[in-house]
Structure 1
Protein backbone atom coordinates (compact mmCIF):
# COMPACT_ATOMS: atom_id res chain seq x y z
CA UNK A 1 0.00 0.00 0.00
CA UNK A 2 1.15 3.51 -0.82
CA UNK A 3 0.25 6.43 1.43
CA UNK A 4 -0.24 9.84 -0.20
CA UNK A 5 -0.58 13.11 1.68
CA UNK A 6 -2.12 15.81 -0.52
CA UNK A 7 -0.54 19.11 0.49
CA UNK A 8 -0.03 22.57 -0.98
CA UNK A 9 3.71 23.13 -0.91
CA UNK A 10 3.40 26.49 0.87
CA UNK A 11 1.68 24.90 3.88
CA UNK A 12 4.73 23.29 5.48
CA UNK A 13 3.20 23.10 8.97
CA UNK A 14 0.23 21.15 7.67
CA UNK A 15 2.55 18.79 5.77
CA UNK A 16 4.63 18.14 8.88
CA UNK A 17 1.49 17.56 10.92
CA UNK A 18 0.25 14.89 8.50
CA UNK A 19 3.67 13.24 8.23
CA UNK A 20 3.84 13.06 12.03
CA UNK A 21 0.35 11.57 12.18
CA UNK A 22 1.46 8.82 9.80
CA UNK A 23 4.74 8.25 11.61
CA UNK A 24 2.93 7.96 14.96
CA UNK A 25 0.97 4.95 13.73
CA UNK A 26 3.83 3.38 11.78
CA UNK A 27 2.98 4.48 8.25
CA UNK A 28 5.52 5.77 5.74
CA UNK A 29 3.92 8.46 3.60
CA UNK A 30 4.71 10.29 0.38
CA UNK A 31 3.76 13.93 -0.03
CA UNK A 32 1.77 14.59 -3.19
CA UNK A 33 2.08 18.23 -4.21
CA UNK A 34 -1.44 19.60 -4.52
CA UNK A 35 -2.58 21.90 -7.29
CA UNK A 36 -3.40 25.41 -6.13
CA UNK A 37 -6.41 26.28 -8.24
CA UNK A 38 -6.00 29.96 -7.41
CA UNK A 39 -2.79 29.97 -9.43
CA UNK A 40 -4.35 28.45 -12.53
CA UNK A 41 -4.95 30.74 -15.47
CA UNK A 42 -8.47 31.11 -16.88
CA UNK A 43 -7.25 29.12 -19.88
CA UNK A 44 -6.01 26.29 -17.64
CA UNK A 45 -9.30 26.18 -15.75
CA UNK A 46 -11.28 26.14 -18.98
CA UNK A 47 -9.16 23.29 -20.32
CA UNK A 48 -9.53 21.14 -17.19
CA UNK A 49 -13.18 21.66 -16.24
CA UNK A 50 -16.56 20.86 -17.73
CA UNK A 51 -17.89 23.98 -19.48
CA UNK A 52 -21.32 23.75 -17.85
CA UNK A 53 -21.35 21.38 -14.89
CA UNK A 54 -18.39 22.92 -13.07
CA UNK A 55 -20.29 26.18 -12.52
CA UNK A 56 -20.13 27.26 -8.89
CA UNK A 57 -16.89 25.47 -8.10
CA UNK A 58 -14.26 27.79 -6.69
CA UNK A 59 -10.71 27.81 -8.02
CA UNK A 60 -9.60 26.10 -4.79
CA UNK A 61 -12.22 23.37 -5.13
CA UNK A 62 -11.10 22.81 -8.71
CA UNK A 63 -7.52 22.53 -7.49
CA UNK A 64 -8.60 20.06 -4.80
CA UNK A 65 -10.43 17.91 -7.35
CA UNK A 66 -7.43 17.99 -9.71
CA UNK A 67 -5.14 17.00 -6.83
CA UNK A 68 -7.17 13.90 -5.98
CA UNK A 69 -7.38 13.05 -9.67
CA UNK A 70 -3.61 13.45 -9.80
CA UNK A 71 -3.28 10.72 -7.17
CA UNK A 72 -5.57 8.48 -9.23
CA UNK A 73 -3.43 9.14 -12.31
CA UNK A 74 -0.30 8.21 -10.36
CA UNK A 75 -1.91 4.98 -9.21
CA UNK A 76 -2.76 4.14 -12.81
CA UNK A 77 0.62 5.05 -14.28
CA UNK A 78 2.55 3.17 -11.56
CA UNK A 79 0.06 0.29 -11.26
CA UNK A 80 -0.46 0.86 -7.53
CA UNK A 81 -2.97 -1.72 -6.30
CA UNK A 82 -4.12 0.11 -3.16
CA UNK A 83 -3.49 3.57 -1.74
CA UNK A 84 -4.34 5.46 1.42
CA UNK A 85 -5.19 9.01 0.37
CA UNK A 86 -4.91 11.71 3.03
CA UNK A 87 -5.32 15.44 3.20
CA UNK A 88 -2.97 17.35 5.44
CA UNK A 89 -5.50 18.07 8.20
CA UNK A 90 -6.03 14.40 9.09
CA UNK A 91 -5.91 13.14 12.67
CA UNK A 92 -5.56 9.42 13.46
CA UNK A 93 -6.63 7.29 16.40
CA UNK A 94 -3.97 5.16 18.10
CA UNK A 95 -5.41 1.96 16.62
CA UNK A 96 -5.83 3.36 13.11
CA UNK A 97 -2.94 1.38 11.65
CA UNK A 98 -4.45 -1.97 12.68
CA UNK A 99 -7.76 -1.04 11.05
CA UNK A 100 -6.03 0.23 7.91
CA UNK A 101 -3.92 -2.93 7.64
CA UNK A 102 -7.03 -5.11 7.91
CA UNK A 103 -8.87 -3.11 5.25
CA UNK A 104 -5.95 -3.17 2.82
CA UNK A 105 -5.48 -6.92 3.28
CA UNK A 106 -9.16 -7.59 2.62
CA UNK A 107 -10.08 -5.03 -0.04
CA UNK A 108 -11.75 -6.71 -3.05
CA UNK A 109 -10.69 -6.32 -6.67
CA UNK A 110 -13.88 -4.61 -7.86
CA UNK A 111 -13.91 -0.76 -7.65
CA UNK A 112 -13.94 -0.10 -3.90
CA UNK A 113 -13.30 2.88 -1.64
CA UNK A 114 -13.20 2.82 2.17
CA UNK A 115 -13.83 6.07 4.04
CA UNK A 116 -11.96 6.30 7.34
CA UNK A 117 -13.85 9.48 8.27
CA UNK A 118 -17.27 10.06 9.79
CA UNK A 119 -20.16 9.68 7.36
CA UNK A 120 -23.60 11.27 7.44
CA UNK A 121 -25.71 8.14 6.92
CA UNK A 122 -25.01 4.45 6.59
CA UNK A 123 -26.86 1.14 6.56
CA UNK A 124 -27.51 -0.94 9.64
CA UNK A 125 -25.44 -4.03 10.18
CA UNK A 126 -22.11 -4.18 8.43
CA UNK A 127 -19.09 -6.46 8.69
CA UNK A 128 -17.15 -6.60 11.94
CA UNK A 129 -13.47 -5.79 11.62
CA UNK A 130 -11.43 -8.53 13.27
CA UNK A 131 -10.02 -7.90 16.77
CA UNK A 132 -11.64 -4.47 17.08
CA UNK A 133 -14.83 -2.67 18.02
CA UNK A 134 -15.15 -1.30 14.49
CA UNK A 135 -17.24 -2.46 11.57
CA UNK A 136 -17.33 -1.81 7.84
CA UNK A 137 -20.68 -0.42 6.70
CA UNK A 138 -22.33 0.51 3.42
CA UNK A 139 -22.55 4.30 3.04
CA UNK A 140 -25.62 6.16 1.82
CA UNK A 141 -24.53 9.78 2.46
CA UNK A 142 -21.05 11.18 3.01
CA UNK A 143 -18.71 14.06 2.31
CA UNK A 144 -15.08 14.92 3.19
CA UNK A 145 -12.03 13.41 1.50
CA UNK A 146 -9.32 13.73 4.15
CA UNK A 147 -8.84 9.99 4.74
CA UNK A 148 -9.79 7.08 2.48
CA UNK A 149 -8.44 3.85 1.05
CA UNK A 150 -8.94 3.23 -2.66
CA UNK A 151 -8.04 0.35 -4.95
CA UNK A 152 -6.72 0.62 -8.48
CA UNK A 153 -9.96 -0.24 -10.25
CA UNK A 154 -11.81 2.45 -8.26
CA UNK A 155 -9.10 5.00 -9.07
CA UNK A 156 -9.63 4.32 -12.78
CA UNK A 157 -13.41 4.54 -12.44
CA UNK A 158 -13.28 7.83 -10.55
CA UNK A 159 -10.73 9.39 -12.87
CA UNK A 160 -12.74 8.48 -15.96
CA UNK A 161 -16.01 9.61 -14.39
CA UNK A 162 -14.82 12.92 -12.89
CA UNK A 163 -12.42 14.18 -15.55
CA UNK A 164 -12.57 16.94 -16.72
CA UNK A 165 -13.55 18.41 -13.36
CA UNK A 166 -17.27 18.83 -12.79
CA UNK A 167 -17.70 17.46 -9.26
CA UNK A 168 -16.10 18.23 -5.93
CA UNK A 169 -13.53 15.63 -4.87
CA UNK A 170 -15.72 14.51 -1.97
CA UNK A 171 -19.20 14.37 -3.50
CA UNK A 172 -19.47 10.75 -2.41
CA UNK A 173 -23.26 10.72 -2.12
CA UNK A 174 -23.69 11.42 -5.83
CA UNK A 175 -21.10 8.79 -6.72
CA UNK A 176 -23.00 6.29 -4.56
CA UNK A 177 -26.29 7.16 -6.26
CA UNK A 178 -24.71 6.63 -9.67
CA UNK A 179 -23.07 3.37 -8.62
CA UNK A 180 -19.64 4.47 -9.84
CA UNK A 181 -17.71 2.66 -7.10
CA UNK A 182 -18.57 0.67 -3.98
CA UNK A 183 -18.16 3.07 -1.04
CA UNK A 184 -18.01 1.76 2.51
CA UNK A 185 -16.93 3.34 5.80
CA UNK A 186 -15.35 2.39 9.10
CA UNK A 187 -17.65 2.90 12.11
CA UNK A 188 -16.56 4.33 14.48
CA UNK A 189 -14.29 6.45 12.30
CA UNK A 190 -10.51 6.26 12.70
CA UNK A 191 -9.52 9.17 10.44
CA UNK A 192 -10.64 12.49 11.86
CA UNK A 193 -10.21 16.17 11.09
CA UNK A 194 -7.60 17.93 13.21
CA UNK A 195 -7.78 21.49 14.48
CA UNK A 196 -6.06 22.51 11.25
CA UNK A 197 -9.32 21.83 9.42
CA UNK A 198 -10.72 25.05 10.90
CA UNK A 199 -8.12 26.97 8.90
CA UNK A 200 -9.72 26.73 5.48
CA UNK A 201 -7.46 26.51 2.44
CA UNK A 202 -10.46 27.00 0.17
CA UNK A 203 -12.11 30.09 1.70
CA UNK A 204 -8.77 31.57 2.65
CA UNK A 205 -9.38 35.33 2.73
CA UNK A 206 -12.11 37.88 3.44
CA UNK A 207 -12.72 38.51 -0.25
CA UNK A 208 -13.47 34.82 -0.88
CA UNK A 209 -15.60 34.54 2.25
CA UNK A 210 -17.75 37.39 0.95
CA UNK A 211 -18.18 35.49 -2.33
CA UNK A 212 -19.09 32.28 -0.53
CA UNK A 213 -22.85 32.76 -0.36
CA UNK A 214 -23.15 33.75 -4.03
CA UNK A 215 -20.88 30.92 -5.16
CA UNK A 216 -22.77 28.36 -3.07
CA UNK A 217 -26.10 29.43 -4.55
CA UNK A 218 -24.70 29.03 -8.05
CA UNK A 219 -23.33 25.62 -7.15
CA UNK A 220 -26.69 24.58 -5.71
CA UNK A 221 -28.37 25.42 -9.02
CA UNK A 222 -25.70 23.48 -10.93
CA UNK A 223 -25.98 20.41 -8.69
CA UNK A 224 -29.74 20.36 -9.27
CA UNK A 225 -29.00 20.45 -12.99
CA UNK A 226 -26.52 17.58 -12.58
CA UNK A 227 -29.09 15.50 -10.73
CA UNK A 228 -31.68 16.10 -13.44
CA UNK A 229 -29.22 14.79 -16.02
CA UNK A 230 -28.92 11.40 -14.31
CA UNK A 231 -30.07 8.43 -16.43
CA UNK A 232 -33.70 7.45 -15.87
CA UNK A 233 -32.72 4.04 -14.48
CA UNK A 234 -30.63 5.66 -11.74
CA UNK A 235 -33.44 8.06 -10.86
CA UNK A 236 -35.92 5.20 -10.55
CA UNK A 237 -33.51 3.08 -8.53
CA UNK A 238 -32.88 5.87 -6.03
CA UNK A 239 -36.58 6.73 -5.77
CA UNK A 240 -37.38 3.11 -4.93
CA UNK A 241 -34.60 3.09 -2.37
CA UNK A 242 -35.88 6.22 -0.65
CA UNK A 243 -39.44 4.88 -0.48
CA UNK A 244 -38.98 1.23 0.45
CA UNK A 245 -35.53 0.68 1.93
CA UNK A 246 -33.98 3.75 3.48
CA UNK A 247 -36.55 4.28 6.28
CA UNK A 248 -35.85 0.80 7.66
CA UNK A 249 -32.13 0.30 7.17
CA UNK A 250 -30.45 3.68 7.33
CA UNK A 251 -28.81 5.15 10.40
CA UNK A 252 -28.37 8.90 10.62
CA UNK A 253 -25.49 10.21 12.67
CA UNK A 254 -26.28 12.65 15.46
Structure 2
Protein backbone atom coordinates (compact mmCIF):
# COMPACT_ATOMS: atom_id res chain seq x y z
CA UNK A 1 0.00 0.00 0.00
CA UNK A 2 1.37 3.40 -1.03
CA UNK A 3 0.14 6.48 0.82
CA UNK A 4 1.45 9.94 -0.14
CA UNK A 5 0.84 12.93 2.14
CA UNK A 6 1.14 16.43 0.67
CA UNK A 7 2.61 18.70 3.34
CA UNK A 8 4.55 21.95 3.43
CA UNK A 9 7.84 21.63 5.31
CA UNK A 10 6.74 24.36 7.75
CA UNK A 11 3.50 22.54 8.71
CA UNK A 12 5.06 20.36 11.40
CA UNK A 13 2.02 20.69 13.70
CA UNK A 14 -0.27 19.23 11.04
CA UNK A 15 1.97 16.21 10.63
CA UNK A 16 2.01 15.73 14.40
CA UNK A 17 -1.80 15.63 14.39
CA UNK A 18 -1.72 13.12 11.54
CA UNK A 19 0.71 10.99 13.51
CA UNK A 20 -1.72 10.90 16.45
CA UNK A 21 -4.70 10.12 14.20
CA UNK A 22 -3.02 7.44 12.08
CA UNK A 23 -0.96 5.63 14.73
CA UNK A 24 -0.85 2.37 12.78
CA UNK A 25 -0.01 3.73 9.34
CA UNK A 26 1.76 7.06 9.82
CA UNK A 27 5.30 5.64 9.71
CA UNK A 28 4.46 4.09 6.34
CA UNK A 29 3.23 7.37 4.87
CA UNK A 30 5.49 9.01 2.31
CA UNK A 31 5.58 12.74 3.15
CA UNK A 32 5.76 14.67 -0.11
CA UNK A 33 7.25 18.13 0.42
CA UNK A 34 4.60 20.42 -1.04
CA UNK A 35 5.53 23.34 -3.21
CA UNK A 36 4.78 26.81 -1.86
CA UNK A 37 3.78 30.23 -3.19
CA UNK A 38 7.38 31.12 -4.04
CA UNK A 39 7.68 27.95 -6.11
CA UNK A 40 4.47 28.94 -7.89
CA UNK A 41 5.93 32.38 -8.71
CA UNK A 42 9.05 30.77 -10.14
CA UNK A 43 6.87 28.43 -12.22
CA UNK A 44 5.05 31.42 -13.74
CA UNK A 45 8.23 33.46 -14.21
CA UNK A 46 9.74 30.57 -16.17
CA UNK A 47 7.03 31.04 -18.78
CA UNK A 48 4.89 27.99 -17.95
CA UNK A 49 1.28 28.23 -19.06
CA UNK A 50 -1.85 28.11 -16.92
CA UNK A 51 -5.31 27.06 -18.04
CA UNK A 52 -7.53 30.05 -18.69
CA UNK A 53 -10.45 30.14 -16.27
CA UNK A 54 -13.02 32.76 -15.32
CA UNK A 55 -11.44 32.84 -11.87
CA UNK A 56 -7.67 33.17 -12.14
CA UNK A 57 -5.65 30.54 -10.28
CA UNK A 58 -4.16 31.73 -7.01
CA UNK A 59 -0.52 31.09 -6.15
CA UNK A 60 -1.61 28.53 -3.57
CA UNK A 61 -3.70 26.73 -6.19
CA UNK A 62 -0.74 26.65 -8.58
CA UNK A 63 1.51 25.27 -5.83
CA UNK A 64 -1.15 22.68 -4.95
CA UNK A 65 -1.51 21.56 -8.58
CA UNK A 66 2.27 21.25 -8.97
CA UNK A 67 2.51 19.23 -5.74
CA UNK A 68 -0.13 16.74 -6.83
CA UNK A 69 1.43 16.59 -10.28
CA UNK A 70 4.75 15.73 -8.63
CA UNK A 71 3.10 12.79 -6.86
CA UNK A 72 1.57 11.61 -10.14
CA UNK A 73 5.03 11.60 -11.66
CA UNK A 74 6.39 9.58 -8.72
CA UNK A 75 3.59 7.04 -9.18
CA UNK A 76 4.46 6.61 -12.86
CA UNK A 77 8.25 6.70 -12.37
CA UNK A 78 8.13 4.01 -9.69
CA UNK A 79 5.52 1.95 -11.53
CA UNK A 80 3.12 2.07 -8.58
CA UNK A 81 -0.16 0.36 -9.47
CA UNK A 82 -2.26 2.74 -7.37
CA UNK A 83 -1.72 5.14 -4.48
CA UNK A 84 -3.71 6.86 -1.76
CA UNK A 85 -3.06 10.61 -1.74
CA UNK A 86 -3.86 12.69 1.34
CA UNK A 87 -3.35 16.30 2.35
CA UNK A 88 -2.04 16.97 5.82
CA UNK A 89 -5.24 18.56 7.18
CA UNK A 90 -7.43 15.56 6.39
CA UNK A 91 -9.52 14.20 9.26
CA UNK A 92 -9.73 10.46 9.86
CA UNK A 93 -7.94 7.45 11.29
CA UNK A 94 -6.36 4.09 10.56
CA UNK A 95 -9.73 2.37 10.16
CA UNK A 96 -10.51 4.79 7.34
CA UNK A 97 -7.37 3.78 5.47
CA UNK A 98 -8.45 0.15 5.85
CA UNK A 99 -11.90 1.01 4.50
CA UNK A 100 -10.51 3.00 1.56
CA UNK A 101 -8.20 0.16 0.59
CA UNK A 102 -11.00 -2.39 0.88
CA UNK A 103 -13.31 -0.32 -1.32
CA UNK A 104 -10.69 0.49 -3.92
CA UNK A 105 -9.66 -3.13 -4.36
CA UNK A 106 -13.31 -3.97 -5.09
CA UNK A 107 -13.56 -1.40 -7.90
CA UNK A 108 -12.74 -1.95 -11.59
CA UNK A 109 -9.10 -1.53 -12.57
CA UNK A 110 -7.95 1.99 -13.41
CA UNK A 111 -10.50 3.67 -11.15
CA UNK A 112 -10.20 6.84 -9.14
CA UNK A 113 -11.88 7.01 -5.73
CA UNK A 114 -12.55 10.40 -4.15
CA UNK A 115 -12.62 9.34 -0.51
CA UNK A 116 -14.60 12.21 1.03
CA UNK A 117 -13.57 15.77 1.84
CA UNK A 118 -16.66 17.60 0.55
CA UNK A 119 -17.72 19.06 3.90
CA UNK A 120 -18.98 22.65 3.80
CA UNK A 121 -19.05 22.88 -0.01
CA UNK A 122 -22.19 24.24 -1.68
CA UNK A 123 -21.48 22.05 -4.71
CA UNK A 124 -21.87 18.91 -2.57
CA UNK A 125 -25.65 19.18 -2.67
CA UNK A 126 -25.49 18.83 -6.47
CA UNK A 127 -23.37 15.67 -6.42
CA UNK A 128 -25.31 12.61 -7.58
CA UNK A 129 -24.20 9.06 -8.20
CA UNK A 130 -25.19 5.45 -8.72
CA UNK A 131 -24.98 3.39 -5.53
CA UNK A 132 -22.71 0.36 -6.08
CA UNK A 133 -22.53 -0.66 -2.43
CA UNK A 134 -23.12 0.91 0.97
CA UNK A 135 -22.04 4.55 0.69
CA UNK A 136 -19.96 3.92 -2.44
CA UNK A 137 -21.13 5.70 -5.59
CA UNK A 138 -20.13 5.65 -9.23
CA UNK A 139 -20.25 9.25 -10.44
CA UNK A 140 -21.65 9.88 -13.95
CA UNK A 141 -19.50 12.25 -15.99
CA UNK A 142 -22.14 14.97 -15.96
CA UNK A 143 -21.57 15.32 -12.22
CA UNK A 144 -17.75 15.35 -12.10
CA UNK A 145 -17.94 19.14 -11.91
CA UNK A 146 -19.51 18.87 -8.45
CA UNK A 147 -16.53 17.00 -7.01
CA UNK A 148 -13.97 19.25 -5.36
CA UNK A 149 -10.78 19.23 -3.28
CA UNK A 150 -7.79 16.92 -3.32
CA UNK A 151 -7.53 16.12 0.38
CA UNK A 152 -8.17 12.39 -0.03
CA UNK A 153 -8.29 10.23 -3.14
CA UNK A 154 -6.94 7.03 -4.67
CA UNK A 155 -5.55 7.10 -8.19
CA UNK A 156 -4.35 4.35 -10.53
CA UNK A 157 -1.13 4.46 -12.52
CA UNK A 158 -3.04 4.81 -15.77
CA UNK A 159 -5.12 7.75 -14.55
CA UNK A 160 -1.97 9.38 -13.14
CA UNK A 161 -0.48 9.18 -16.64
CA UNK A 162 -3.55 10.85 -18.14
CA UNK A 163 -3.45 13.66 -15.59
CA UNK A 164 0.27 14.24 -16.27
CA UNK A 165 -0.47 14.48 -19.97
CA UNK A 166 -3.32 16.94 -19.46
CA UNK A 167 -1.25 19.10 -17.10
CA UNK A 168 1.84 19.15 -19.33
CA UNK A 169 0.62 21.76 -21.84
CA UNK A 170 -0.98 24.15 -19.37
CA UNK A 171 -1.62 23.74 -15.68
CA UNK A 172 -5.14 23.27 -14.32
CA UNK A 173 -6.35 23.35 -10.72
CA UNK A 174 -5.61 20.04 -9.02
CA UNK A 175 -9.29 19.53 -8.13
CA UNK A 176 -10.80 20.55 -11.46
CA UNK A 177 -12.00 16.99 -11.72
CA UNK A 178 -14.42 17.53 -14.60
CA UNK A 179 -11.48 18.50 -16.81
CA UNK A 180 -8.75 16.25 -15.43
CA UNK A 181 -10.98 13.17 -15.52
CA UNK A 182 -12.81 13.88 -18.78
CA UNK A 183 -11.40 10.69 -20.35
CA UNK A 184 -11.99 8.55 -17.25
CA UNK A 185 -15.13 6.44 -16.85
CA UNK A 186 -14.45 4.78 -13.50
CA UNK A 187 -14.88 7.66 -11.07
CA UNK A 188 -16.17 6.76 -7.61
CA UNK A 189 -16.95 8.63 -4.41
CA UNK A 190 -17.31 7.51 -0.82
CA UNK A 191 -17.68 9.86 2.19
CA UNK A 192 -14.97 8.38 4.40
CA UNK A 193 -12.35 10.99 5.34
CA UNK A 194 -13.29 14.57 6.11
CA UNK A 195 -12.02 18.08 5.43
CA UNK A 196 -11.98 20.66 8.26
CA UNK A 197 -15.07 22.89 8.32
CA UNK A 198 -13.06 25.75 9.80
CA UNK A 199 -10.95 27.01 6.89
CA UNK A 200 -8.82 29.71 8.55
CA UNK A 201 -5.84 27.36 8.57
CA UNK A 202 -6.33 26.17 4.99
CA UNK A 203 -3.79 27.92 2.76
CA UNK A 204 -5.72 27.33 -0.44
CA UNK A 205 -9.27 27.90 0.83
CA UNK A 206 -8.49 31.37 2.22
CA UNK A 207 -7.21 32.58 -1.17
CA UNK A 208 -10.12 30.96 -3.01
CA UNK A 209 -12.64 32.72 -0.79
CA UNK A 210 -11.10 36.11 -1.58
CA UNK A 211 -11.04 35.41 -5.32
CA UNK A 212 -14.58 34.05 -5.56
CA UNK A 213 -16.33 36.61 -3.36
CA UNK A 214 -19.07 35.96 -0.84
CA UNK A 215 -22.35 36.95 -2.51
CA UNK A 216 -24.42 36.41 -5.62
CA UNK A 217 -23.88 39.97 -6.91
CA UNK A 218 -20.10 39.45 -7.01
CA UNK A 219 -20.61 36.21 -8.94
CA UNK A 220 -22.91 37.87 -11.52
CA UNK A 221 -20.48 40.76 -12.02
CA UNK A 222 -17.58 38.36 -12.52
CA UNK A 223 -19.34 35.75 -14.65
CA UNK A 224 -21.81 37.92 -16.54
CA UNK A 225 -25.60 37.54 -16.53
CA UNK A 226 -25.73 35.02 -19.39
CA UNK A 227 -23.25 32.60 -17.85
CA UNK A 228 -24.74 33.04 -14.37
CA UNK A 229 -28.20 32.11 -15.68
CA UNK A 230 -26.73 29.15 -17.55
CA UNK A 231 -24.91 28.04 -14.39
CA UNK A 232 -28.05 28.05 -12.23
CA UNK A 233 -30.25 26.52 -14.92
CA UNK A 234 -27.68 23.76 -15.37
CA UNK A 235 -27.91 22.89 -11.68
CA UNK A 236 -31.70 22.64 -11.93
CA UNK A 237 -31.56 20.54 -15.10
CA UNK A 238 -28.90 18.16 -13.76
CA UNK A 239 -30.96 17.75 -10.60
CA UNK A 240 -34.06 16.70 -12.56
CA UNK A 241 -31.97 14.51 -14.86
CA UNK A 242 -30.52 12.72 -11.81
CA UNK A 243 -33.99 11.94 -10.51
CA UNK A 244 -35.06 10.69 -13.94
CA UNK A 245 -32.02 8.40 -14.12
CA UNK A 246 -32.47 7.16 -10.57
CA UNK A 247 -29.23 8.67 -9.26
CA UNK A 248 -28.86 9.31 -5.54
CA UNK A 249 -28.10 12.73 -4.08
CA UNK A 250 -25.14 11.67 -2.00
CA UNK A 251 -25.41 14.37 0.67
CA UNK A 252 -28.96 13.23 1.51
CA UNK A 253 -27.86 9.61 1.76
CA UNK A 254 -25.30 10.37 4.45
CA UNK A 255 -28.02 11.09 7.01
Q: Give the distance between the partners of 1:104 and 1:125, measured in 2 at CA.
A: 15
Report the secondary structure of 1:66's partner residue.
helix
Cα separation, partners in 2 of 1:211 and 1:50, compared to 1, 3 Å:
closer
Report the secondary structure of 1:76's partner residue.
helix
TM-score by length of 1: 0.72
**Unaligned regions of 5+ residues in structure 2, if any?**
119-123, 228-233
Match of 2:242 among 233, 240, 246: 246
Cα separation, partners in 2 of 1:242 and 1:67, compared to 1, 3 Å:
same
RMSD across aligned C-alpha pairs, in angstroms? 3.7
**Unaligned regions of 5+ residues in structure 1, if any?**
128-133, 226-237
Match of 1:148 among 145, 153, 159: 153
For 2:189, the equivalent position in structure 1 comes to 185
Contact (CA 8 Å) 1:66, 1:165: kept in 2 or not? no
How far off its partner does 1:96 sit? 1.1
Alignment of 1:121-136 (within 5 A): 121-127=127-133, 134-136=134-136
Contact (CA 8 Å) 2:25, 2:94: kept in 1 or not? yes
**Number of aligned pairs?**
227
Report the secondary structure of 2:57's partner residue.
coil
Contact (CA 8 Å) 1:143, 1:172: kept in 2 or not? yes
Cα separation, partners in 2 of 1:94 and 1:41, compared to 1, 3 Å:
closer
How far off its partner does 1:245 sit? 4.4
Contact (CA 8 Å) 2:72, 2:161: kept in 1 or not? yes
Q: Give the distance between the partners of 1:137 and 1:168, measured in 2 at CA.
A: 24
Cα separation, partners in 2 of 1:45 and 1:151, compared to 1, 3 Å:
farther
For 2:87, the equivalent position in structure 1 comes to 87
Match of 2:171 among 136, 154, 166: 166
Report the secondary structure of 2:67's partner residue.
helix
Q: Give the distance between the partners of 1:173 and 1:17, measured in 2 at CA.
A: 32
How far off its partner does 1:181 sit? 5.1
For 2:14, the equivalent position in structure 1 comes to 14
How far off its partner does 1:14 sit? 1.3
Cα separation, partners in 2 of 1:116 and 1:184, compared to 1, 3 Å:
same
How far off its partner does 1:94 sit? 5.9
Report the secondary structure of 1:163's partner residue.
helix
For 1:115, the equivalent position in structure 2 comes to 114
TM-score by length of 2: 0.72
Q: Does 2:201 correspond to 1:199?
A: yes
How far off its partner does 1:123 sit? 1.9
